[in-house]
Chain A
Amino acid sequence: MDTADVEAVWRIESARIVAALTRFTGDFGLAEDAAQEAVAEALVSWPLASPANPSGWLMATARRRAIDAIRRRAALKDRYALLAADPAVDQEVDPDRIDDDVLALMFVSCHPVLSREAQVALTLRVVGGLSSEEIARAFLVSVPTVQARITRGKKTIAAAGVPFELPPAGERGERLGGVLSVLYVIFTEGSTATSGDRLLRPDVAYEAIRLARTLAALQPDEPEVHGLLALCELTAARFPARTSQDGTPILLEDQDRRLWDFSAIRRGLAALTRASTRGLGPYGLQAAIAAAHASAPSVEATDWDRIVLLYEALGRVAPSPVVELNRAVAVAMASGPVQALAIVDELIASDRLAGSHLVPTVRGELLARLGRRPEARAELELAARLCTNQRERSVLLRKAAALS
């Protein structure tokens, strides 16, 4: 067995091992450290001699490392006795309890005391089973940066005395929203990379989809979990058509829709149905918008009136300037650029999206459609200056040049 084999077993087992150890030790940071030591040992010893039961080996080794750590802390002697005496932690424990433990692990990793960066790093590392190297690659930061975020995150959890348990009923909805927003941040980093020379990083988006599927399996009665999953599946379904061979972004109107991943669309529509039981929340509404695109044979044949209505509903439940801007784009398609330009100019007047390249991008497109070419060109050039993704920037500059 080589490194890739060890990583493969770890991907499958990490959440359950860290969850079980946290349950038994009551110490999330210690559990995570012990689990990491077990992986490090596996990386050394498995290439020499493959264990008969790799997942059992990891659990047993992590438990031993946890016991070693607790031994060094006299204050935790009672926990040591409990852990050392109970072999159940090595076995297949009660599946319902391990499900709750994995869920609790997600809630701890996305706890509101943590910074967004720490939430993302801990969730990918502890629940997703990614190494610091993989997380660093995903977010285009250095390995020490990721390690520092994880270490600080664990200290923050310990200092705040965050208990390892499912949030009480009164906080459950809000905390679940926190978990969903962490998964969505990971997804959007893959679907529109905020920096670097690639527009899409499907491997990053995949991690979010995988975590969302896990959450949907563990929280099947929460519509917004299915809404987020639907949104991710339906957005990722368009990835194969969103860039050309050389990585240049292709706009929705120019995409070859035959390249869309139709099994992903079916999965997304199925998740959207499960999200629709009690009226759609913010993720469900965004998924419904993505579904309207996914079900349309072309831009012209898209039900833009429905999309405008969905954006209006989204603006009511989750108002944001980005939603307003998207509504403007939909209005331009449904009713024309004049009405859309009024929405954009109102946004600019309220100064709520200052510094974003998206506002001048949309304004430039609308002005171009109205034949106001010099103004359109100036807007697109401004957008290019503000845009941090190199691929998007070159598309904007090409469009601006075409207007001269």
Chain B
Amino acid sequence: MSKYLLIMRGTDESNAAMMANIEEMMVTTRQFIEETVKAGVLLAAEGLDDPGKGVVVDFSGETPVVTDGPYGETKELFGGFFMLDVASKQEAVEWAKRVPAAPGSKIEVRRVPESDEVPQVDA
């Protein structure tokens, strides 16, 4: 078993498609969340605000530079996530297929390593 983050990656087009059907999207998303809760796999889920309201903190130079969103050349934007506690990667993928995602968007499925898999530093 492992934790997986299902990262919602939308484009301008898919975000527009989602906003056009926002009420239906809210209903189907709520259904999906209920299903994951009843299956005992949902740990957290959040959606992000409009990328235009965000900022970017850029570490290219010596000091961090803050610029307003959206984010230049980036085509796919992180729009929200589901954190699942599942039996296998395949199960995470199976849940990802059931997310009511807008046409044209993508979901990235990434495993969260356990604490004993990452180097421990004494502080």
CB <8 Å contact, A8 and B88: yes
What CA separation (Å) do A245 and B117 show in the bound complex?
10
Segment touching A, from B6-14, B33-41, B54-62, B65-73: B33-41
Collect the chain B residues with CB atoms within 8 Å of residue A256's CB: 120
Bound-complex Cα distance A261 to B43 (A): 13
Per-residue interface assignment for chain B, residues 39 to 59, with 1 indicating a CB less than 8 Å from any chain A CB and 0 otherwise? 111010000000000000000
Interface hit among A171-179, A191-199, A204-212, A390-398: A204-212
Q: Say whether B40 contacts A4, CB under 8 Å.
A: no
Flag A1-27 by CB within 8 Å of B: 1 or 0 each.
Answer: 000110111011000000000000000
If the complex has contacts A206-B1, A240-B114, A240-B116, are A11 and B40 also in contact, measured as CB distance less than 8 A? no
Q: Is the CB of A259 within 8 A of B120?
A: yes
Given contacts A210-B85, A240-B116, A259-B120, contact A217 B94 (CB under 8 A): no
Residues of B within 8 A of A210 (CB): 39-41, 85
Q: Which residue of A lies closest to B41 (CB)?
A: A210
**Interface of A (DSSP majority class):** helix
Whether the Cβ atoms of A240 and B115 lie closer than 8 Å is yes
In the complex, what residue of chain A is closest to B90 when comparing beta carbons? A8
- Chain A, residue nearest B38 (CB): A217
**Chain A 368-397 interface mask (CB, 8 Å, partner B; 1/0):** 000000000000000000000000000000
A11–B120 contact, CB under 8 A?
no
Q: Which of A221-273 contact B (CB under 8 A)?
A: 240, 245, 256, 258-259, 261, 263, 267
Do B1 and A267 touch (CB < 8 A)?
no
Query: Given the complex of chains A and B, what is the CA–CA distance between A246 and B41 in angstroms?
Result: 29
Contact A8–B94 (Cβ < 8 Å): yes
Docked pose: A263 CA to B115 CA in angstroms? 12
Q: How far is the CA of A267 from the CA of B1 in the complex (A)?
A: 18
User: Is residue A203 contacting chain B, with contact meaning CB distance below 8 A?
Assistant: yes
Interfacial chain A residues near B91, Cβ < 8 Å: 8, 11-12
CB distance from B30 to the nearest CB of A (A): 12
**A202 is an interface residue with CB less than 8 A from chain B:** yes
B25 at the interface (CB under 8 A from A): no
Quick check: B88 and A214 within 8 Å, CB to CB?
no
Q: Kindly state the separation between the CA atoms of A265 and B27 in the bound complex, as whole angstroms.
A: 31
A217-B1 contact, Cβ under 8 Å, with A8-B87, A8-B93, A8-B94: no
- The CA-CA distance from A263 to B85 in the complex, in Å, is 12
Report the nearest B residue to A214, measured CB to CB.
Answer: B40
Interface pair B94/A214, CB less than 8 Å apart = no
Question: Within 8 Å CB of B39, what residues of A?
Answer: 12, 210, 214
Cα A110 to Cα B115 in complex, Å, equals 34
Task: Verify if A63 is at the interface (C-beta below 8 Å from B).
Answer: no
For the complex, give the distance between the alpha carbons of A8 and B37 in Å: 17
Contacts of A312 in B (CB 8 A): none
Please, which residue of chain A has its CB at the minimum distance from the CB of B2?
A206
The one of B43, B85, B88 that contacts A7, using a Cβ cutoff of 8 Å: B88
Q: A165 in the interface, Cβ–Cβ < 8 Å?
A: no
Q: Taking the complex as formed, is B78 at the interface, i.e. its CB lies under 8 A from any CB of chain A? A: no
Tell me if B90 and A5 are in contact (CB < 8 A). Answer: yes
A 93-126 to B, binary, CB cutoff 8 A, 1 in contact else 0: 0010001001000000000000000000000000
Min distance, Cβ A273 to any Cβ of chain B, angstroms = 17
Q: How far is the CA of A263 from the CA of B5 in the complex (A)?
A: 14
Chain A residues in 8 Å Cβ range of B120: 256, 259
Residues of A within 8 A of B81 (CB): none
By beta carbon, the residue of chain A nearest B91 is A8
> Which of B37, B43, B87 is the one whose CB lies under 8 Å from A11?
B87
Q: Tell me, in angstroms, the Cα distance from A212 to B95 when the chains sit together.
A: 20
Given A11-B91, A12-B91, does the pair A217, B37 have CB atoms closer than 8 Å? yes
Interface check A218, CB cutoff 8 A: yes
Q: A210-B85, A240-B116 given as contacts; is B38 within 8 A of A12 (CB)?
A: no
The 4 closest A-B pairs by CB, nearest first: A213-B40, A8-B90, A210-B40, A8-B91
Can you give 13 A-B contacts (C-beta < 8 A)?
A4-B90, A5-B90, A7-B88, A8-B94, A54-B94, A210-B39, A214-B38, A218-B38, A240-B114, A245-B116, A256-B120, A261-B115, A263-B43
Beyond known contacts A8-B94, A212-B40, A256-B120: 8 more, CB 8 A cutoff: A12-B94, A12-B95, A54-B94, A209-B40, A214-B38, A217-B38, A240-B116, A245-B116
